Amino acid sequence: MMKTNECEILCIGVALIDSIVKNLDPTPVSASGYRAVSGSLHVGGEAANEALALAKLGHRPSVLCNLGQDEAGELVLHRLSEAGADTSLIRRSEHPTPVTTMFVRDDGTRQSITNQAHFYNFHPEQYLNESLRPKVLILGSLFRAPFDDPAVTEAVLRFAYDQGIPVFADTKLPNSRPCTLEEIRTSLPMITYITPNEDEARYYTGKENPEEMAEVFLQYGVKNVIIKLGSKGCYFCNSETCYTLPAYPIKAVDATGAGDNFLAGFVSELLHGGTVEEALHFANACGAICTTAAGSSAGLKNREQVLDFLKRQ
């Protein structure tokens, strides 16, 4: 069991296995056979992606998630431990570890197939107590299980808010139970930074441009809004300032996990004492580097790699 104050960054959300199929040829080669350029297995899921990136950037993140008592769960646990993440908070249950099949196109865009294991409503709030005092809490998948349940979201955010812990909430489009901003109205003011991508922000706000999207989140009480714009960079807004930062040009291989690496980079640079703008540049670099390899954690190597990348821009 961890001692008080031993937890620097707590990542809560989903950990799973991504089965990535690269460039599937839709033309069958037999009655039931297809060809693809490659197929590979990777540890994924928001909590795992962020923790792996943070560990590479020099931190020791703690992960709170559910894994099954199965080979997929063992693989996730091994990978996180090997990277240096703290896994003492990970719960094991009879529910299977989620496995996602990802079809990745040549330009890095992708489609995914989920299954019932993704929708298990794990209750992370049951494992939070005052002895656990992270400097930062990252909520990996707002609007997806377990954070498609307003009561779970409220309880986790209340835990952080009552202890003065800043919350960084990434978002996802629903893949099971739809959840709206209005349903979590009382929870949103407890979020320090929210980081939807453009599609997610459009879906939840009903707006078409980043300025209007951000304004909706701010009106709900979120302190800072970062809208990830893919190849167009990112848009930042709070009550004092708003601006857009361009993305770094790069040849994308696979966009899986780019947003999670972006968030990890942003948190890391803030913890290193950087300004918000410096942290956004660092985050953009982490997201870009992630897309240069298949899988969510193969591209990013360490902090020095990111700093060198930034020097060359």
Domain for residue 192, yes or no?
yes
Entry field: residues in the chain? 313
Domain for residue 21, yes or no?
no
Q: Which amino acid is at 252?
A: A
Domain for residue 111, yes or no?
no
Instruction: List 193's β-bridge partners, or say none.
Output: 168, 224
**Of 37, 104, 49, 72, nearest to 294 (Cα)?**
104
**Of 178, 183, 186, 135, nearest to 157 (Cα)?**
186
How many Å is the maximal CA-CA distance in the chain?
Answer: 61
- pLDDT tens, 275-304? 999 999 999 999 999 999 887 888 999 999
- pLDDT tens, 107-161? 778 888 888 888 888 999 999 988 888 999 999 899 999 999 999 999 999 999 9
- Is residue 110 within a helix (H) or strand (E), and if so which, with residue range? strand 110-113
% the chain with pLDDT above 90? 79
8 Å CB contact between 234 and 227: yes
- Is residue 286 within a helix (H) or strand (E), and if so which, with residue range? helix 276-290
For the chain, how many structural domains are there in total? 1
Domain for residue 39, yes or no?
no
Distance from C-alpha of 209 to C-alpha of 201, rounded to nearest angstrom = 9
| 162 pLDDT above the threshold of 70 | yes
Domain for residue 232, yes or no?
yes
Between these two residues, 121 and 98, which has the higher pLDDT value? 98
pLDDT (0 to 100) of residue 172? 94
Domain for residue 104, yes or no?
no
Distance from C-alpha of 285 to C-alpha of 300, rounded to nearest angstrom = 10
| 61 pLDDT above the threshold of 60 | yes
Q: Is 195 helix (H, G, I), strand (E, B) or coil?
A: strand
Residue 203 burial (C-beta neighbours within 10 Å; 0-12, 13-18, 19+): middle
**Of 25, 14, 50, 7, nearest to 259 (Cα)?**
50
- pLDDT tens, 174-211? 988 899 999 999 999 999 999 999 999 999 999 999 99
Q: Which domain holds residue 51?
A: 9-15+44-98+116-311
Question: What is the domain-level CATH number for residue 148?
Answer: 3.40.1190.20
Distance from C-alpha of 224 to C-alpha of 63, rounded to nearest angstrom = 24
Domain for residue 94, yes or no?
yes
% the chain with pLDDT above 70? 98
Range scoring the smallest mean pLDDT among 19-28, 50-59, 109-118, 255-264? 109-118
